[in-house]
A and B are shown apart, each in its own frame.
Chain A
Amino acid sequence: MAASVKTQLAVGGRSLAVTNLDKVLWPRDGYTKGDLIAYYRAVAQWLLPHMQRRPLTLERYPNGIDQAGWWEKHIPKGLPEWVPTVKTAASTRHEQIEFILCDDEATLAYVANLAAVVLHVWYSREPTLEVPDFILIDLDPGEGCTLATLAQVALAARAELATVGITPLVKTTGGSGLHVVVPLEPRYGWDQVKAFAELIARRIHDVEPDRTTLDRTIARRPKGTVYLDFVQVGKGKTYVAPFSVRARDGAPVSMPIAWSEVEAMRRKRAKSTAPEMTRWNISNVPRLLAKDGDPWSKAWQPYGLEPVIAAARSLWS
């Protein structure tokens, strides 16, 4: 292999040294590290608002997605001094970790150059790291789950949340499932939002008992159901950022989508969910965004829990 080749990149008023742009990270698709950096720069204006001031965890694949990657919370060695960071306890344990805050395009290009394919961010933002500003339910289709079933469960979640005054957001995970997101006013503790996530998941299960499961043990989940994972919210926990790439064949992107897309999915006859869920990728997403913008940008509206719980107590009991 050739020695590392350096290129200087002018980004956000800074000159950034990037290396090995020709390194192939997706061996079956031919996408390179240069493609990854170009993708993240192309979507920066839509991605950054979702990342800003959230502690960032990198999922790095410097030798391509066929080699084991790793998760990196601590700031990497040689971090440029202009990259903003925050030092905080990464869980309820007390270990302090210094995290990158990906607030600008130069930082985004810098982490892409580290072959950070997947970007995971916190549920809360600096300086209010103790109070999350959204929750999510991970709709994880099990074996034999059809696209229509997954879509039906997502639409049931939307319908139930609508009864208590919430219009949730939805994105693909970039794998086989969907994330249903509810933005919150950043003033509730972790225990409160966790209980709220559990409440929503249990309510969805109540209205869709045959299509969903809450069983954490994979072997016990009924075939063809959607696992409602509500336990991913918490201090120090992360979710795959909207527009983040995934380390899978085809370089799929975790894509915020409009509910009309989910309605269309419900009418499709696909046996499995993955092909539909991964049709957004690093080559088509920049074009789609330039044309239609981020479907979440207008829909992101934080909710207070008090009226929601009051409504739920009269409607969901």
Chain B
Amino acid sequence: MAHAIWSGAINFGLVTIPVKLFTAVRSDDLRFNFLHKKDDGRIFNERHCTVCGEKVEYADLVRGYEYEKGQYVTLSDDDFKSVRPEATQSVEILEFVELEQINPMYFDTPYYLEPEKKGRHAYALLRESLREAGKVGIARVIIRSREHLAALKPNGEALILELMHFADELVAQSDFDFPELKEKVAPAELSMAKMLIDSMTVEAFEPEKFTDEYKEAVMAMIEARVAGEQVTAPETKRPAATNVVNLMDVLQRSLEATKRAGTGTAAKPKAVAPKKSASAAKPKRKKSAA
């Protein structure tokens, strides 16, 4: 059983429910260590200063924020401490809202809240009332010294706490070019598309059906290595060393290819409007000569 992140309480109004907070997502990315190719030695990193060249100990590091190329503001541990939220171990419910009111894009990482013995009844009561009302609690919670916005949701027997993005973290949809909702589609097209969707529709979503195929392939390769089999890796191409002669050849070929394509540009033919591009280069001269 995993360790609790903290023991604290769910608070709303005058109600306090003692709970423990557990992580609900197991991140099991493939982990590798870097080794020295020739002797399989583990590699450790030494920090060196780019100004004095000296080796730098951890204690001598400060954090710098690059606000302009090469220009830093530095912040010390005390600076961070001064703005760090007080480490209250509580899920403080601020308001309740219907689950449907929250765009799922806001949800990020789920955590489990497990009740302490003396809180079991109140826990069950909160869970059932949320379920019947079809609502979730919106709460503030501090996890590893960072404050988060979160939703408290009934999930079967459990209450889960799902961390949410703050509004300014989401990239605005209006930044992209999507077809309008009014975009005309023919009824025949629509019914064809719907038929296709129907034919691919399943009764229920079974997440177990889907697995990370890349990870499985890598693990299979590792297991084979451990068992002593030869596994040949595909050859990867290394970029050729560039020098002046090489570059000139590459450029020459690129320019010739462009010419053969007859568009005037290798990249995006549509970008070249001869009239406009010719004028694009000129106003500098004309206007500044005045």
Contact = CB atoms under 8 A, between A and B. Distances in A.
Interface of A: 45-46, 48-50, 52-53, 59, 68-70, 87, 94-98, 125, 127-131, 133, 183, 185-192, 195-196, 198-199, 202-203, 206, 217-219, 247, 293-294, 296-298, 300-302, 305-306, 309-310, 312-313, 316-317
Contacts of A131: 265, 267, 271-272, 277
A316 B254 contact: no
Contacts of A195: 247, 250-251, 254
Nearest to A300: B284
Given A191-B266, A294-B288, 11 more contacts: A127-B273, A131-B271, A186-B272, A188-B266, A195-B247, A195-B254, A199-B251, A247-B68, A297-B285, A297-B289, A313-B252
A186 B281 contact: yes
Interface in B257-282: 258, 264-268, 270-273, 276-277, 280-281
B46 to A, nearest CB: 13
B247 A199 contact: yes
Given A127-B273, A247-B68, A49 B287 contact: yes
A110 to B, nearest CB: 20
A72 to B, nearest CB: 13
Give chain A's interface secondary structure class: mixed
Nearest to B266: A189
Given A45-B290, A131-B267, A189-B266, A125 B280 contact: yes
Interface of B: 48-50, 53, 65, 67-68, 73, 171, 175-177, 242-245, 247-248, 250-252, 254-255, 258, 264-268, 270-273, 276-277, 280-281, 283-290
Nearest to B177: A96
A306 B254 CA distance: 10
Contact of B277 (A128, A300, A310): A128
Contacts of B290: 45
Given A128-B272, A297-B284, A317-B248, A96 B176 contact: yes
Contacts of B276: 127-128
A146 to B, nearest CB: 19
Given A128-B272, A202-B242, A187 B251 contact: no
A59 B288 contact: no
A97 B175 contact: yes
A199 B288 contact: no
18 contacts: A49-B286, A50-B288, A87-B177, A96-B176, A183-B281, A187-B264, A187-B277, A195-B247, A195-B251, A198-B247, A202-B242, A202-B247, A297-B284, A297-B288, A298-B289, A300-B285, A305-B255, A312-B248
B255 A309 contact: yes
A188 B256 CA distance: 12
Contacts of A294: 288
A199 B244 contact: yes
B67 A70 contact: yes
Question: Lowest 5 CB-CB distances: which A-B pairs, in order?
Answer: A189-B267, A297-B288, A130-B271, A189-B266, A49-B287
Contacts of A188: 255, 258, 265-266
Nearest to A312: B248
Given A129-B271, A131-B272, A191-B267, A202 B288 contact: no
Nearest to B288: A297
B257 to A, nearest CB: 10
Contacts of B280: 53, 125, 128, 133, 186
Nearest to B178: A96
Which interface residue of A95, A186, A202 has the most chain B CB atoms within 10 A?
A186
Nearest to B171: A95
Nearest to B264: A187
A129 B158 CA distance: 54
Contact of A128 (B48, B65, B273, B283): B273
B268 A192 contact: no
A300 B280 CA distance: 12
A242 to B, nearest CB: 10
A201 to B, nearest CB: 10
A69 B248 contact: no
Nearest to A299: B285
A84 B250 CA distance: 38
Contacts of B266: 188-189, 191-192
A95 B53 contact: no
Given A127-B273, A128-B272, A128-B280, A309 B285 contact: no
Contacts of B177: 87, 96
A46 B251 contact: no
Contacts of A130: 265, 267-268, 270-271
Contact of B283 (A52, A68, A69, A94): A52
A95 B281 contact: no
Nearest to A247: B68
A96 to B, nearest CB: 5
Contacts of A70: 67
B277 A69 contact: no
B242 A198 contact: yes
Contacts of B286: 49
